[in-house]
Structure 1
Amino acid sequence: MNTAPPQISRFAIPDLADMPDDIRARIEVVQEKAGFVPNVFLALAHRPDEFRAFFAYHDALMEKDGGLTKAEREMIVVATSGANQCQYCVVAHGAILRIRAKNPLIADQVAVNYRKADITARQRAMLDFAMQVALAAHTVGDADFAMLAEHGFDTGDVWDIAAIAAFFGMSNRLANVSEMRPNDEFYMMGRG
């Protein structure tokens, strides 16, 4: 019987002590806040410059204030990651969505079929556009912008929806190629 812990990634995971100081410090802050280190931090740490760029853009998209709530930003990640069959992002961002939305059901609903989820018409329009960007960005046109405007989204919001869907499309692909494993802790977060 194999008692070794499951592999986090197909790629080598550097020891925390061998990581650059800024990356180690960032991981330690996350560990202190969450109580564990999300595997994405470990999986990307073998490429320090890419780690820094990835998390800088992630934070710029996901942690700012604006026309989208932080829960809505997570909805975009969960819906598009489900379409891209990214287990890591659905599980990890599903946990964050449950916490930010204060709703233990929403992440599962959005991941499986957002069109049947308990969300607003505005959020459904947002996710329709995010899915279009994730799966058929070449079809985006003026009618899509007009539809979003009817739901109260301005051009800054449209950019944010598109940028989140596009960024996580890249993230989903890296997570799938690397077989990045979601931390067990994510599965129960926000459910109680």
Structure 2
Amino acid sequence: MAEDVSRFPVVEHDELPDDLRERIAVIAEKSGFVPNVFRALGHRPAELRAFLDYHDAVMERESGLSKAERELVVVATSGANSCTYCVVAHGAILRIRAKDAQLADRVATNPWTVELTERQRAIVDLALALAVDPATFSSEDLDAARDAGLTDEEVWDVGAITALFALSNRIAHLTALRPNDEFYLMGRLPRG
């Protein structure tokens, strides 16, 4: 018996409204499959549009953090939030973007002690401070990131990505969202 993708209804790619079908087709062509998150969010098209718009605004920027550093934030905070879907899906993307088959697993399992560059450590520490105990987030957290060389734009990027994936992690928990099988091997084996 196949495991359910979500506790809630899912929508197949060909059932999405035209604009969403076109946006998801680009992603599916690039990856070779339709990520389950789009099938799960597809039954609420307005929310899927908003999610995609904010995702693209913070994850596809061409300034500030690199794309690998953005994925590092997602994997670290999703690991801290125990979000299997986001750790598996974005761990695959991090492996590819960082060209490192082990980094995502190390960061997801213990982002507080994994060996990172000074810049990566500053990014991860800032993201975790905001993700894990936001009520105590303070100027000291910002100062530590700035002292490590992050610009205010990069600090904002870390915060915005952390906030978006707090939402994403909670939706994944609500829906019991199952990662696509394809994600588990991405970035581990040569692409065939």
What TM-score results when the alignment is normalised by the length of structure 2? 0.94
Q: C-alpha deviations, 1:89-109, integer Å up to 9, x for none?
A: 000000000000000000000
Letter of the 2:162 partner, please give it.
A
CA distance in 1, matches of 2:107, 2:182: 20
Q: 2:112 aligns to what?
A: 115
Task: Choose from 176, 180, 183 the match for 1:183.
Answer: 180
Q: 2:30 aligns to what?
A: 33
Q: How does 1:72-151 map to 2 (within 5 A)?
A: 72-151=69-148
CA distance in 2, matches of 1:26, 1:189: 21
- For residue 7 of structure 1, report the CA deviation from its aligned partner: 1.0
CA distance in 2, matches of 1:16, 1:146: 45
Q: C-alpha deviations, 1:147-171, integer Å up to 9, x for none?
A: 1111111111111111111110110
Q: How does 1:156-167 map to 2 (within 5 A)?
A: 156-167=153-164
Letter of the 1:132 partner, please give it.
A
Identical pairs, percent: 54
CA distance in 2, matches of 1:107, 1:66: 23
Is 39-48 or 23-32 further displaced after alignment? 23-32
CA distance in 2, matches of 1:16, 1:147: 44
Q: 1:70 aligns to what?
A: 67
Which ranges in structure 1 are unaligned for 5 or more consecutive residues?
none
Which ranges in structure 2 are unaligned for 5 or more consecutive residues?
none
**1:154 corresponds to 2:151:** yes
